[in-house]
Amino acid sequence: MKALVATLCAVPLLLLSLQAQTATEECDMKTVIKAHFCAECDKVYEQKDLASEKEYYFCKDCEIAAAKPGDCEWCNAPLEKKVSGKNVCPACYAAPAECEACVKAYYECPECGETALEPGACPVCDDEPSPALEKITSLAVIQYVCEGCYSPTLLPGKCVSDECDHEGKDRVKACSESGTFPHVQSK
């Protein structure tokens, strides 16, 4: 009985240890592309995913966009019909900022959600045959961070904070999802 309790207590510690190891693996930023970052939605989009001249509906009171006409889901005010500009966020129709993005591919089981860095059959599902893992692409914003005050920007340059010891020094390029699967070192 004591051995079972000791084993059950050790499992969470082992999991914490594995999470700590994974979290310390920095992203290698092996593939970086030009992308667009919507600060309103906190999402990264490739150029092909942006909306242009798309009809949508907008609540003046809540400042929320909707895809269908009707009343605002928050305040019940009538929605106004609008047309987006070119190259806007497909979710909120705000103009995204140009940025760089780190691209990582990974694979996910459509049935159980198990993830892997390599394609193949799901190692967890009991189905015969196991379902094939589906390829997913993850985009993370590349930020340029000051090593002194840690302030991030989307563009390279020098730290401009007069309160920082690193003022005038170049910012360091970093993946915003570094250490989080799949933004870890490539094999």
Per-residue pLDDT reduced to its tens digit, 25-67: 899 999 999 999 999 999 999 999 999 999 999 999 998 898 8
Confidence of residue 75 (pLDDT cuts 50, 70, 90): very high
Q: What average pLDDT is seen over the chain? A: 86
Instruction: Of 95, 94, 21, give the one whose Cα is nearest residue 64.
Output: 94
The DSSP bridge partners found for residue 87 are none
Give dist(CA 30, CA 26) in Å, integer.
11
Instruction: Of 27, 23, 44, give the one whose Cα is nearest residue 35.
Output: 44
Domain range summary for the chain, segments of one domain joined by +: 52-86
The pLDDT of residue 149 is above 90: yes
For range 67-96, the mean pLDDT: 94
Whether the CB-CB separation of 81 and 57 falls below 8 Å is answered with yes
Backbone angles phi, psi at 164, to 5 degrees: -100, 140
Whether the CB-CB separation of 55 and 68 falls below 8 Å is answered with no
